[in-house]
Amino acid sequence: MSFTPPPMFVGENYHIWVVKMKTYLQAQDLLSVVENDIEPPPLRASPTIAQMRQHAEESTKKHKSLACLTPKEAWERLKEEFMGSDKTRQQQVINLRRDFENLKMKKSESIKQYLNRIMATVNSIRLLGEDFSDSRVVEKVITTLPERFESKISSLEDLKDLTTIFLSELVNSLYALEQRRANRQEDHLEGAFQAKAKENSSTNQKEKKPWLDKRDKPRRDSGKRKFPPYVHCKKTTHSERFCWFRPDIQCRSCKQFGHVEKVCKNKPKAPAQQQIQAQAAEDL
């Protein structure tokens, strides 16, 4: 059977150490030896070496101060030194209870963070030897939650008696509600980002479209728009107003009506072209 050493006290966190030490002493059936200042029970027949060593240590256990002659004196000396007298402990309890009553959940806090603050104060009170029931913690949580949890509290009141509900059950219900809201907000933000990106993309396309319209308009119009065949040219690519062959127009070159100068076949030829034609005639 292996020997388990007791928890060591190094001068800090006495409240935690005393709980561990009491648990250890209870497991070894030695708590009454320390608290009541009695002799350790005798060893059983044929003890092991580890048991003999443990019995010798427990029967001579002393505080490091020579003024403490028994384990009980050492125990009480540590308790008074690190926890104070009954009067000072009572004052600490009063201060901690006041802190507990003033606790409120912050807007930026989660349920887990708020409960950790509450339980830190409650555990400090309990370590000073004061009873503090979970029902008081439940009442504190319910009465100090912000408005966003009001619907959940109302539904819990309809289903259960809040004076008998377990603290863990209440916290789990509130934590589940908080997680659902966080997931919905995340989905909402993602949808908003997607809508914003789509809006920006549409805006960019609208800004580029006028340039494309101006550049491609003649091509689109010529390829898609059609007109009734004009009586003179028989074409459908333009209206009567813009036709070159118009009976009410007089040609500036040949002075005849029905066409414009640009398409006139009787227009005088340029001198250079006349010389070329004359040279060609001489060669023949």
Query: Is 116 inside a domain boundary?
Result: no
Helix (H, G, I), strand (E, B) or coil at 217: helix
pLDDT for 229 equals: 76
Q: Is 64's pLDDT higher than 50?
A: no
CA 168 from chain centre, in angstroms, equals 24
Domain end marker among 34, 51, 83? 83
Encoded tokens for 107: 């807007």
Give the highest mean pLDDT range of 35-49, 125-139, 220-234.
Answer: 125-139
Single-letter amino acid, residue 161: D
Q: Is 98's pLDDT higher than 90?
A: yes
Measured CA to CA, the distance from residue 193 to residue 185 in angstroms comes to: 12
Domain end marker among 83, 100, 116? 83
Query: Is 262 inside a domain boundary?
Result: yes
Instruction: Compare 190 and 149 and report the one with higher pLDDT.
Output: 149
Do 36 and 73 form a contact (C-beta atoms < 8 A)? no
Tens of pLDDT, residue by residue over 1-34, are 566 788 787 767 777 777 788 888 887 777 777 7
Helix (H, G, I), strand (E, B) or coil at 183: helix
Encoded tokens for 229: 């065949």
Do 144 and 103 form a contact (C-beta atoms < 8 A)? yes
Cα–Cα–Cα angle for 184, 188, 189, rounded to 5 degrees: 120
Query: Is 38 inside a domain boundary?
Result: yes
Task: Calculate what percentage of the chain has a pLDDT beyond 70.
Answer: 57
Query: Is 194 inside a domain boundary?
Result: no
Range of the domain at 249: 230-284
Query: Is 235 inside a domain boundary?
Result: yes
Query: Is 181 inside a domain boundary?
Result: no
Among 112, 123, 134, smallest CA distance to 179 is for: 112
Mean pLDDT of 113-119: 91
pLDDT for 154 equals: 81
Do 118 and 100 form a contact (C-beta atoms < 8 A)? yes
Output phi, psi for 50, to 5 deg.
-65, -40
Query: Is 60 inside a domain boundary?
Result: yes
Do 33 and 39 form a contact (C-beta atoms < 8 A)? yes
Single-letter amino acid, residue 234: K
Task: Calculate what percentage of the chain has a pLDDT beyond 90.
Answer: 7
How many separate domains does the chain show? Answer: 2
Instruction: Compare 12 and 173 and report the one with higher pLDDT.
Output: 173
- Residue whose entry in the numeric block shows the structure tokens 């009410």: 248
Query: Is 123 inside a domain boundary?
Result: no
DSSP H stretches of helix in 84-148: 86-102, 111-127, 134-144
Residue 257, strand partner residues: 250
Mean pLDDT of 77-85: 70
